[in-house]
Amino acid sequence: MKQYSNRLNKLGTETAFKVSESASEFIKSGKVIYPYHLGDLNIPTPENIIEAAKKALHEGKTGYVSPSGIPRLRKIISEVVGFERQIIYEPKNVVIQPGGKPVIAKFIQAIMNPGDGVLYPNPGYPIYESQIEFNGGIPLPYEFIPTSDGFMLDREKLESMIDNRTRILIYNNFQNPTGCESDIEEMEWLSEIANKYNLWVLSDEAYFNIRYSGKSKSIASFPGMKERTVILYTFSKTFSMTGWRLGAAIGPSSLMKIFEKLSVNDESCTNHFVQCAGIEALEGPQKYQKFITDKLKNRRNLLSEMLNAIHGVKVIVPDTTFYLYPDITELYHCVDARSYEDFRTIILQKTGVSFCTREHFGKPNKIETRKYIRLAYSGISIKDISLSMNVLKDFFSKSLSSSMV
Ligand code: PLP
């Protein structure tokens, strides 16, 4: 039998894609499915962006370009991202990437030595842990405490994990999976911690622009942070461009030179015509962005209302992302689930509702007693939200009454 590298034992995966596979199997057997598992959008990319890509293709923009990206896109990203975050960036602070995800691995490769400690959120986007472990780092998952309107960092625990080998803090405000965000005071505290312990920060801002009220703020804008922070920027969610693969790393220019070198090694460059589409996304009419967030907001409102109407479900309604993270502890026990995976499969088979669970975003802490699932409402219509929540409500009310007999 042929052997693969030992390092592969440490490589994780994006668990939502795994759930997609199980949902596809379910569909193949002819059953109806209500897809809440993947953070993808069923809203088309705005027409002006598609036209810009077509034009670029017809103009022959199909060859290699600079590994750091085409100058005009780097410039417009530095301006837009700087303006939205009240930070001054220049094009040399921007390296274009094929999506936001590659920023995670490149950041870790550029900063972390084997044996260095990396703080990252748990629950959180699973690629952080995967890349930390794959590259020989020490994973330091930090936790959250549920509050009446979201989740807050367990500050004491977070700080207690830091020692002289800790080099990196990964921070995903506008969080996947909880949909929640830090208040200003929490961001201030975290930036003080980064300064105090001289940490590099990866600020994953994939959902910075998916906002229904209020205003997003970046940790990079706090004192002393610009020099130690790399922003993960992506077109995926804001412009409904998940499959186009376009994003950027934004940070100190000396570090961006290293990102450029890593890009030469990994992918040579990001597609030229896709970068032209990115210019149109940022420079062209912005009305579609509002169209996308309005659509998502309607879904969020209906889904949260219908979830909260199910006996045994409690969900807070976040102002950002397109995720809801309901507490389903009572239902978990009422269907006699032996594990999260058991719960997920029972609900999928009985109702067709497909979602990820808490466990897809990191190992729950031993003292974590509440149970959660994550519902992405980015890929499901209002009509299907309504149908699916009625099916779910029915199923749970029957399960609850039979569990009381
Ligand atoms: N970061 C977070 C928190 C995400 O949820 C995602 C995608 O779901 C990404 C990064 C990567 O996005 P992309 O590579 O599509 O830009």
d(CA 100, ligand 1 centre) in Å: 6
Q: Of all residues in the chain, what percent carry a pLDDT higher than 90?
A: 85
Torsion angle defined by CA atoms of residues 23, 29, 31 and 33, in that order, rounded to the nearest 10 degrees? 10
Model confidence over 173-231: pLDDT tens digits? 999 999 999 999 999 999 999 999 999 999 999 999 999 999 999 999 999 999 999 99
Which amino acid type is present at position 227?
E
C-alpha of residue 230 to centroid of ligand 1, in Å: 15
Q: Which of 144, 253, 250, 148 is nearest to 190 (CA)?
A: 144
Cβ of 203 less than 6 Å from ligand 1: no
pLDDT band at 20 (very low <50, low <70, confident <90, very high): confident
DSSP 35: E
Q: Is 373 helix (H, G, I), strand (E, B) or coil?
A: strand
As a whole number of angstroms, the distance between CA 117 and CA 128 comes to: 12
Q: Enter the pTM of the model.
A: 0.96
What pLDDT sits at residue 210? Answer: 96
- Tens digit of each residue's pLDDT (9 = 90 or more) over 318-355: 999 999 999 999 999 888 889 999 999 999 999 999 99
Calculate how far, in angstroms, residue 209's C-alpha sits from the geometric centre of ligand 1. 13
Select from 20, 204, 360, 361 the residue to mutate for testing ligand 1; criterion: most ligand atoms less than 8 Å from CB. 204
Q: Is the pLDDT of residue 368 over 80?
A: yes
Ligand 1 close to Cβ of residue 124 (< 6 A): no
In 3D, which of 171, 163, 164, 166 has the Cα closest to residue 104? 171
270 Cβ closer than 6 Å to some ligand 1 atom: no
Of 57-61, 109-113, 144-148, 383-387, where does mean pLDDT reach its minimum? 144-148
* Ligand 1 binding pocket mutation candidate from 13, 77, 101 (most atoms within 8 A of CB): 101
Q: Is the distance from the beta carbon of residue 360 to the nearest atom of ligand 1 less than 6 Å?
A: no
Residue 379 neighbours by CB under 8 Å, 6+ apart = 35, 36, 38, 40, 41, 42
The residue whose CA has the least distance to atom 9 of ligand 1 is 101
- The rounded distance, in Å, linking the Cα atoms of 121 and 142 is 5
Two tokens, residue 258 = 């290293």
pLDDT class of 403 with cuts at 50, 70, 90? low
pLDDT at 310: 95
Ligand 1 centroid to residue 40 C-alpha, Å = 10
Q: Find the length of the chain.
A: 405
Per-residue pLDDT band for 404 (boundaries 50, 70, 90) equals: low
- What would the two tokens of residue 132 be? 């930390």
Nearest residue by C-alpha to atom 8 in ligand 1? 39
pLDDT tens digits along 222-258 = 999 999 999 999 999 999 999 999 999 999 999 999 9
What's the rounded Cα separation, in Å, for the pair 353 and 343?
A: 11
- Closest residue (by CA) to atom 1 of ligand 1? 206
Q: What is the pLDDT of residues 126-180, one digit of tens each?
A: 999 999 999 999 999 999 999 988 899 999 999 999 999 999 999 999 999 999 9
One-character DSSP codes across 165-231? TEEEEEE-SS-TTT-----HHHHHHHHHHHHHTT-EEEEE-TTTT-BSSS----GGGSTTTGGGEEE
